[in-house]
Structure 1
Amino acid sequence: MTATPEPAEVTVLPEAGADEEAGLGYQQRLGAKLRAVRRARGLRLQDVEELSEGRFKAVVIGSYERGDRAISAHKLASLAAFYEVPVVELLPDEERSRRRSSENTLAVDLRRLREQSDDPELAPLLRLVRHVQWLRDDYNGQILSLRTDDLRTIAVSMGAPDDRLDAWLDERELLHR
């Protein structure tokens, strides 16, 4: 009788050929991304454990977030499903982050925008924000950075001059400060 082998745990590591020091840096960057997603959802480590009914232990999630413990691909996928984000959103991507941050002009507070979603004046903004999130695969939080092109599109759809859009958003307390 042949025993069926247990499925292997696959650990998420940096590119092959990276030295050990880079691996540690990667684990820490991965952990920082995990922490950012959890905090963007307004969750404490204990909340994750409770809401997952113990599937994700607070101490283990904390060790992933500190980069003290490697996370398997299976566990990462499960955590992404729990946070309701694509797995790729949990992986660090410094180049993409640098590109995004250099192009950002305004940050919209999505929580406040959702709170005011009944306001018909905000309907075009809501549609465009959802579209921008979809285009960027950006489901990672409560704040969305709008680039110059995004602002122009929003201004046109709302019939407002783009040089006044930031003031308009600020008057409605929709800008993240």
Structure 2
Amino acid sequence: MSENPQQPQQPQQPGPQPEQAPAYGSPQPGQTPYQDQPSQPYPGQPHPGQPQQGPVYGSAYGPGQYQPQPLNPSDERMWSVFAQIGPILLSFIAPLVIWLVLKDRSRFVDQEAKESLNFQITLVIVHIAAAIITTVTFGIGAIVYLVFVAAVVFMILAAVENGKGAPYRYPVNIRFIK
């Protein structure tokens, strides 16, 4: 290109093009696509049938051998406290998720999250019973809902005990999950 805009630009002459390598998986010259070719591994991968060399990435314990890391004591206390006070906002979902995710990493969190989950399932059953009682008694049975004030007190007591690293057993609990 020229820097002067009044001069006409010379068209560029096509010169010899550099030879380009065929795209990965494309047929070689003289071959039709999808001919039976020996399978080629992806770039950087070993050929099938050859032993893999070097480390296996993606797992610190080798392929297919997941070993969860144990929680340290402060994390155990933190997650068990979350399992006890999480239901105030999220009902049984908080202890269920904590139990499912961390049950293999800490026996203490496994035990306390199950205890909290069982208590929350018990509270769901009590809530259904209280609704039925309130409906049958035309609202007089609503006094049964005071049970939920005691339940919040029990959850706070459980969180305090778990924060100290001590297990807590709810006084009224149906243990569905053992």
TM-score tier, shorter chain, comes to under 0.3
Using the size of structure 1 for normalisation, the TM-score is 0.23
- With CA pairs under 8 Å and 6+ residues apart, which has the higher RCO, 1 or 2? 1
More helix by share: 1
Using the size of structure 2 for normalisation, the TM-score is 0.23
